Chain A
Amino acid sequence: NAGVMQNPRHLVRRRGQEARLRCSPMKGHSHVYWYRQLPEEGLKFMVYLQKENIIDESGMPKERFSAEFPKEGPSILRIQQVVRGDSAAYFCASSFDRGEYEQYFGPGTRLTVT
């Protein structure tokens, strides 16, 4: 039973480029959460999605960031025109349902903006 999968594991982008981060939830899970971890800090919630719906994006920066979870395929976190401050580890988690269900985390994508 494969866990949450994220790719790429490491991503290097120059300032101004776009970054696309992918997350495939655990089998049977249709709820996806994205978190960002800055160096030496804890994780901060960004967005929660169900299939084809954004449910809670209260943690997403207002500009340049977007997320989707299409009917088919992985969830995508997209960062346009990246800046150095976007350098961080981005983690995806999935759960079986909304509510008090355990969230299972992927290994993360480490984005470095040069």
Chain B
Amino acid sequence: SQQGEEDPQALSIQEGENATMNCSYKTSINNLQWYRQNSGRGLVHLILIRSNEREKHSGRLRVTLDTSKKSSSLLITASRAADTASYFCATDAWNQGAQKLVFGQGTRLTINP
């Protein structure tokens, strides 16, 4: 079954507000990644957090990881219209020594000007 599940499925906020998206997963992981997908486009890698890390920052992005609860959150501060996109978490699954990514259903974020 799907590894990561994002919550909420859709989020609509005003420009300037903060957006928080959550991801839950079911099995042990080595790392968790967040991706952004603009409508009809490919995925852009945002941030990778390892299982031994609790928090990571990149610009206006803050990611937390709680392995005891098997959950992660992505916070976008001071949102902009250009942040409108779908956001996916992806956990790692291993086979033959190679990492494949297991994606959640995504959160559709809309930033209203």
Contacts and interface: CB of A to CB of B under 8 A. Distances in A.
Interface of A: 4, 31, 33, 35, 40-45, 48, 55-56, 58-59, 91, 93, 98-108, 110
Contacts of A43: 43, 88, 90, 101, 103
A42 B98 contact: no
Interface string B89-113: 0101101111111111110000000
A105 B103 contact: no
Contact of A42 (B31, B48, B106): B106
B42 interface: yes
B71 to A, nearest CB: 17
Nearest to A33: B100
A98 B48 contact: no
Contacts of A31: 98
A103 B44 CA distance: 10
B32 to A, nearest CB: 12
Given A42-B106, A105-B42, A99 B88 contact: no
Given A43-B88, A100-B31, A108 B41 contact: yes
Interface residues of B, number: 29
A107 B93 CA distance: 23
Contacts of A4: 42
30 contacts: A31-B98, A33-B101, A41-B105, A42-B88, A43-B43, A43-B90, A44-B103, A45-B93, A45-B100, A45-B102, A48-B95, A48-B98, A55-B96, A55-B98, A56-B96, A58-B95, A91-B43, A98-B99, A100-B30, A100-B99, A102-B33, A102-B48, A103-B99, A103-B101, A105-B42, A105-B43, A105-B44, A107-B41, A107-B42, A108-B41
B58 interface: no
Given A41-B105, A42-B2, A102 B98 contact: no
B45 interface: yes
